[in-house]
Amino acid sequence: MAHLTQNEFQRAIEILADEMGLQRLHDKFVRLNGLVTRRKVASSESLANQLYMLSSGLRRQVPSALAFQAIWAESIHDKVGEEGEENFEKLGEKVNECLDEKDELKADKDKDLDAALKEYADALAAVVGAEKARIDMLMKAVPVVAERLRAEETKPE
């Protein structure tokens, strides 16, 4: 799986804080043992920095990383629902069909991958918003797909 950059992680925390409130988000991390201090946080940026450092950028399977993943998944599931998740699994299969067993792009699947990613992104953005959809896709993406998603973001329109 690809890893979020510090800026992407910070934006993910901002999105969660906007949805549920900064202190409520902090309290949720404390309840899930992702944080040990109950002191109030000054901003979503300081919370994101603290969590990013504790989890080594979500690269380590530690309580802060697991808590973030649980909170993020819950926020997506709340909007997508059971039926929606089944639909997204099917859309995800279209992406996976473009990858080989080593999670590399299959030959001549460039356009298919772009189409599958666009279909998935559009469907998810319609439910959770474009920015949250992008971050969610990055979190689930294998490195070759994450590179493509990041490159797509930097393309001039």
Express each pLDDT in 51-104 by its tens digit.
Answer: 999 998 888 899 999 999 999 999 999 999 888 899 999 999 999 999 999 999
Task: Count how many domains the chain has.
Answer: 1
The residue range of the domain holding 114 is: 6-154
Q: Is residue 77 part of a domain?
A: yes
Q: Is residue 92 part of a domain?
A: yes
Q: Is residue 1 part of a domain?
A: no
Cβ atoms of 100 and 83 within 8 Å: the answer is no
Q: Is residue 85 part of a domain?
A: yes
pLDDT of residue 34: 92
| Closest to 18 in 3D by CA, of 37, 38, 45, 36 | 45
pLDDT of residue 2: 64
Q: Is residue 61 part of a domain?
A: yes
Cβ atoms of 142 and 103 within 8 Å: the answer is yes
Q: How distant, in Å, are the alpha carbons of 18, 63, 116, 129 from that of 24?
A: 10, 18, 36, 21
Does residue 152 have a pLDDT over 90? Answer: no
Write down the pTM of the prediction. Answer: 0.89
